Amino acid sequence: MVEYEKIKQTYAMAHFQLSSPLKFFTQLLKPYPGDIIKTILAVFMTTAAILGVGYGLRQLVDQGFSAENQHLLNLSALTLFGLASVLSFSAYLRTSTTSLLAEKITNDLRQRLFNQTLALPFTTYESLKLGGILSTLSTDTDQIRQFTSGSAAVAIRTVLQLLGATTLLIYQSPKLSLYVFTLLPLVLVPLFFFGRKVKTLTKDVQEQEGVALSFAEERINALSTLKAFGAEPNTQEIFSQQMHKKMSLIRPRTHYRSLLISLVILLVFSSIAAVLWLGALEVMDDKLSPGQLSAFVFYAIIVAGSLNNFADVIANMTQTFGALDRVIAFLNYKREDQNISSEILKPFKSLYLDNIKFTYPMRPETLVLKGISLALSQKQKVAIVGPSGSGKSTIFKLLLQFYQPDSGEITLDKSPYTKTPLQGCRSLFALVPQDPVIFNASILENIKIANPNAATKEIKKALYDAHILEFSDRFPHGLETILGEKGVRLSGGQKQRIALARALLKNAPIMLLDEATNALDSESERHIQQALQGSLKNKAALIIAHRLSTVKEADEIILLEDGLIQARGTHKELMNSSPLYKKLAKQQFLD
């Protein structure tokens, strides 16, 4: 089943209602009524000018050529020149307005998509592919922009021309018009049949492109690992297969779209030739004037051209509606919190986890936490130790509300955690992760992410405490040095110091330290430990560690194994009562 169908099923289960592509597109245009009015005015002017040419042509032939009237001939020619001027101006007005309107709604749409990306909960990202998101943000919005700047106005103009030219055809010759309408179904049947086929294939192409982009993004991010293991040839082969699969979908789409256009051209112009022949017979029998036949043929060409344009417009529209479907599907994902508050919860009195059980949504068969309870109060230091995979980092994710417990309750100052504003909860914590994220920005910008409005004095203290200046001064541009993609210019230890400075600058009441110095050398670790001791003096802390000496000084140490608390107490108590803790102490986190 394709990704789009999976998404629709997800929404159905969540009681979400997908908007129709046309309704959603109308909503995108709604903020710009002035541009829409100008576009519609330009389209009406263009249509009127084109249809007026037929009348001018009839006058030119019947009154100018046939009657040999010089005055009428000049007047007819001037009329055609005037219509050409109107057509030229309306074309400028339409193209300039629609191009600018397309850029406006594309910017609006990309902003909405980006905001939605940041607002999605972690559970959603377990099922979404990053390449699919990037494809929606880029390829799909580009398709919508192209449709708005060109095909949308052309579609309106084509409908108006078709209606106007058809009316004038009947006025010129009802008999010949009957022939035209008899032949019309021959054009419309392949139009609708092949149009539906193109739409289906276009969706499949867009989804496969998302899969390929996701694979490419993931592998590029892991380039050092690929090179270290010599995995480039295999990776190239897999990407080539994915692109080949995309091409296997593009080929039939191109075939059907081209076949659609070619069939319409054949049928339309064959019909015109037949009508022209019948019209010539009418002129020879004096049932139709040469001017009427000229105007009729002109309007017949307009009808034929409009139908031919329909083939291309509908093909473009099917691609655009496919893109709109994907955009709507993404925007309809449930956001993390619809009422995010900026309230800062400082200070706090107590934080309590009561009998927490948890499984990750994509691994429902594995119970990660099996009923753990722990408490944290102001200025208290609690360390969590245990073998890898025992659930230590999962506790941090629950506290930050990346996920919600399956059962049990987290309370903050005796109130349910879920009733506290999301951003308020997160404002309690300053996180130092095991694998710090470094952005492609300057050292200073990376640190100020935690507190963009921090005072200079606060920034300097964070830089000093995290020993940032020891390595930043060696860069040519100091703190303004751009660190490159994922901090490629930094060592592991330098990245960790930036993460520490970031956490210190946030100045939250609770520090979450997840292997906070695992990438530091012994000398740097000693300096950071000293800085942490000073920074943690008036803060609460949850500490995950293998070798932090801070663990020995914690008020309480919790030993986790396989999602269960096996023992708790001070370092001295656990060394005497827990064989597992004693083993870990000797092997891992004690120098």
pLDDT at 8 (0 to 100): 39
Q: According to the model, what pLDDT value does residue 340 have?
A: 47
Torsion angles phi and psi, residue 350, rounded to 5: -155, 145
- Per-10-residue mean pLDDT of the chain, 591 residues long, equals 40 45 88 90 86 73 60 69 83 88 92 88 78 82 89 83 82 76 70 72 78 78 70 84 86 80 74 75 75 77 74 79 88 73 64 93 88 91 87 91 90 84 84 86 89 89 87 89 84 86 90 77 70 78 74 87 91 89 72 45
Give me the pLDDT at residue 346, please. 61
Domain boundaries, the chain: 3-207+255-331, 338-428+510-591, 442-507
Starting at the edge strand found earlier in the chain, the sheet holding 407-412 runs 369-377, 350-358, 407-412, 415-416
pLDDT at residue 542, as a whole number: 92
Q: Could you report the per-residue pLDDT of 463-491, keeping only the tens digit for each?
A: 888 888 888 888 888 899 888 877 888 88
Contact 483, 515 (CB under 8 A): no
Superfamily assignment of 338-428+510-591 in CATH? P-loop containing nucleotide triphosphate hydrolases (3.40.50.300)
Residues 531-556: pLDDT tens digits?
677 778 888 999 987 665 667 778 89
Give, in words, the CATH class of 3-207+255-331.
Answer: mainly alpha
- Which are the contacts of 111, defined by CB distance < 8 A and separation ≥ 6? none
Which residue type occupies 380? Q
Single-letter amino acid code for the residue at 312:
D
Please report the pLDDT score of residue 376 as a whole number.
92
pLDDT at 483: 87
Average pLDDT of every residue of the chain: 80
407-412 and 415-416: which strand pairing? antiparallel
- How far apart CA 532 and CA 494 sit, in angstroms, is 16
The candidate with the shortest Cα–Cα distance to 53, out of 18, 21, 88, 22, is 88
